[in-house]
Amino acid sequence: MTDYIEAKKRAEQYGQDHLFRYYDELTKDQQNALVEAVSNVDFEQMQGLYQMAKKGEVSGEGAITPIAVTDKQTVSEEVLQAWEAYGTKIMQEGRFAAVTMAGGQGTRLGHNGPKGTYDIGLPGGESLFQIQCDRLKRRSEACGRSIPWYIMTSRENHNDTVAFFEAHDYFGYNKEDILFFRQFMLPMIDFDGKIVMDSKATMKEGADGHGGIFRAMAACGIVEDMRKRGVEWIFVGGIDNVLVKLCDPTFVGFLAKNGYRLGGKSLIKRDAKEKAGVFCKRDGKPYVVEYTEISDEMAELRDEKGTFVYGDAHILCNMFRIDALEAMGNQGLPYHVAVKKAAYVGDNGEVITPESPNAYKFEAFIFDAFSQYDEMGILRVERETEFAPVKNKSGEDSPETARDLYTKAEARNALD
Ligand code: UTP
């Protein structure tokens, strides 16, 4: 009871009285859950985020300059082999792990269930999770030990994700080497600054973005688990790129041999207008500038060889040395605002599904962490072998395009 009074008082203090409007109609369990959820809200923070959303997000300031990129195509066979051998040794010694970020909502794909459970229509009916697991299995076999695999979920999809792995017997992978952890959530806020209630008993919360990974890994004891296992290098990628090379010894070797603490893979943009964030430096530090943040002139700028100066797209394939990952867990990242549709409880207690966006969602981006370092290693790779995202239901970056690219890569034996 005191918790309820306390939570209600705090909500009222911040103009969020509506959170408890239907409290008396709820079951005891629902009441307790609501009090707990509201007690966990940082109202001060939410107020600040709302004000930022209202004003319009201010993109960071500072001079944008090009960043050095290593184009894999231009590296000699001898050097590539040395990197690969070094990375393989790291893997054989158990000093490598992979993380898959699968906490997103996958709204554009519109699949009912975690995105990783989606079947893109390959002849074997493999889900996105299985595609990644098969790759881990192959690399584990090649290096003679099972590579730890950490999967980030969100509160929304955690239970369904774990149940999916259980139902598929962890795809034959060593169960002790697949660990799930949940990212944090943040309430969504309507355009009047009220936290959205999506039922009489629950607030609408959204996963806090892929940048939430550092805090989640620290809070869930994942970094600690890695340390215990002796892991030093960690690949972090998304669930929705069916060509992601989760365990790429060449990439590990490239970073380790060159003394980098973090790195990313890039692809050269298809054209100046491709909607992708690109690597650069801002105020002398590594940064990913969104396509909306640079001028047409910059987007079209080419060097003397005709290559885009700001053309290395970030594809959510990053690697961190454990100390870098650990340090980032202690630093807050800025939040960005997205405007989304969120079902809400109307004045008469009914749930209304809006026709147009009605709420702000707040997300941190993983690449905002890059600027905490002076340098990062960027390896430019080939699109056909490393990038086939599943974002939309149809058209560009859809299951159909991903299936096609996957099938072609398989035919070229490029799925190691
Ligand atoms: P996207 O930003 O493309 O989002 O995520 P999404 O959830 O897959 O799809 P939309 O935008 O709702 O349609 C890129 C990767 O980052 C992960 C996603 O699961 C995906 O692997 N991600 C994104 C998280 O793990 N957590 C988040 O909060 C956001």
Domain 71-265+316-411, CATH homologous superfamily name and number = Spore Coat Polysaccharide Biosynthesis Protein SpsA; Chain A (3.90.550.10)
DSSP string across 68-120: --EEGGGS-HHHHHHHHHHHHHHHHTT-EEEEEE--S--TTTT-SS-GGG-B-
What separation in Å is there between the alpha carbon of 286 and the centre of ligand 1?
22
Using one digit for the tens of pLDDT, what is the confidence trace for 277-295? 999 999 999 999 988 888 8
Task: Map out the domains of the chain as residue ranges.
Answer: 71-265+316-411
The full length of the chain comes to 416
Q: Cα-flanking dihedrals φ and ψ of residue 142, to 5°?
A: -65, -35
Using one digit for the tens of pLDDT, what is the confidence trace for 38-80? 999 999 999 999 999 999 877 777 899 999 999 999 999 999 9
Strand order from edge to edge, sheet including 189-190: 189-190, 359-363, 336-340
What separation in Å is there between the alpha carbon of 240 and the centre of ligand 1?
8
Mutate which of 240, 243, 316, 391 for ligand 1? The one with the most ligand atoms within 8 Å of its CB, which is: 240
pLDDT (0 to 100) of residue 416: 84
What separation in Å is there between the alpha carbon of 391 and the centre of ligand 1?
9
Q: Give, using CA atoms, the residue closest to atom 21 of ligand 1.
A: 238
Contact 318, 266 (CB under 8 A): no
- Positions in the chain whose pLDDT score sits under 50: none
What separation in Å is there between the alpha carbon of 146 and the centre of ligand 1?
27
Q: Which among 205, 130, 211 is positioned nearest to 173, based on CA atoms? A: 130
What count of other Cβ atoms lies within 10 Å of the Cβ of residue 360? 26
Q: Which among 271, 266, 307, 267 is positioned nearest to 286, based on CA atoms? A: 266
Q: Which among 166, 150, 164, 181 is positioned nearest to 114, based on CA atoms? A: 164
At residue 285, the 3 state secondary structure works out as strand
Q: Give, using CA atoms, the residue closest to atom 15 of ligand 1.
A: 238
CA-101 nearest atom, ligand 1: 25
pLDDT (0 to 100) of residue 292: 83
Contact 102, 111 (CB under 8 A): no
> Long-range contacts: 114-118, Cβ < 8 Å, 24+?
114/153, 114/157, 114/160, 114/161, 114/164, 115/239, 115/240, 115/390, 116/151, 116/161, 116/164, 116/239, 117/160, 117/161, 117/164, 118/390, 118/399
What separation in Å is there between the alpha carbon of 78 and the centre of ligand 1?
37
Contact 190, 346 (CB under 8 A): no
What separation in Å is there between the alpha carbon of 238 and the centre of ligand 1?
7
Contact 317, 172 (CB under 8 A): no
Block residue for tokens 């554009």: 108
What count of other Cβ atoms lies within 10 Å of the Cβ of residue 401? 19
What separation in Å is there between the alpha carbon of 15 and the centre of ligand 1?
31
pLDDT (0 to 100) of residue 331: 80
Contact 387, 267 (CB under 8 A): yes
CA-240 nearest atom, ligand 1: 21
CA-103 nearest atom, ligand 1: 25
Q: Give, using CA atoms, the residue closest to atom 10 of ligand 1.
A: 106
* Rounded Cα gap, residues 123 and 60, in angstroms: 46
What separation in Å is there between the alpha carbon of 259 and the centre of ligand 1?
30
What separation in Å is there between the alpha carbon of 301 and the centre of ligand 1?
30
Mutate which of 129, 210, 368 for ligand 1? The one with the most ligand atoms within 8 Å of its CB, which is: 210
CA-363 nearest atom, ligand 1: 28
Q: At what angle do helices 28-39 and 2-13 cross, to 10 degrees?
A: 50
pLDDT (0 to 100) of residue 273: 87
pLDDT (0 to 100) of residue 286: 97
Fill in the DSSP letter of residue 145: S
Q: Is 244 exposed, middle or buried (0-12, 13-18, 19+ CB in 10 A)?
A: buried
* Radius of gyration from C-alpha coordinates of the chain: 22
What separation in Å is there between the alpha carbon of 103 and the centre of ligand 1?
6
At residue 236, the 3 state secondary structure works out as strand
CA-208 nearest atom, ligand 1: 28
Q: Give, using CA atoms, the residue closest to atom 5 of ligand 1.
A: 104
CA-237 nearest atom, ligand 1: 21
pLDDT (0 to 100) of residue 293: 84
Q: Cα-flanking dihedrals φ and ψ of residue 389, to 5°?
A: -80, 150
What separation in Å is there between the alpha carbon of 169 and the centre of ligand 1?
25
Pocket of ligand 1 (CB under 6 A): 101-108, 115, 152, 183, 207-210, 212, 238-240, 316, 363, 391
Measured CA to CA in angstroms, residue 310 lies from 287, 344, 366, 386 at distances of 11, 41, 19, 20
CA-241 nearest atom, ligand 1: 21
At residue 388, the 3 state secondary structure works out as coil
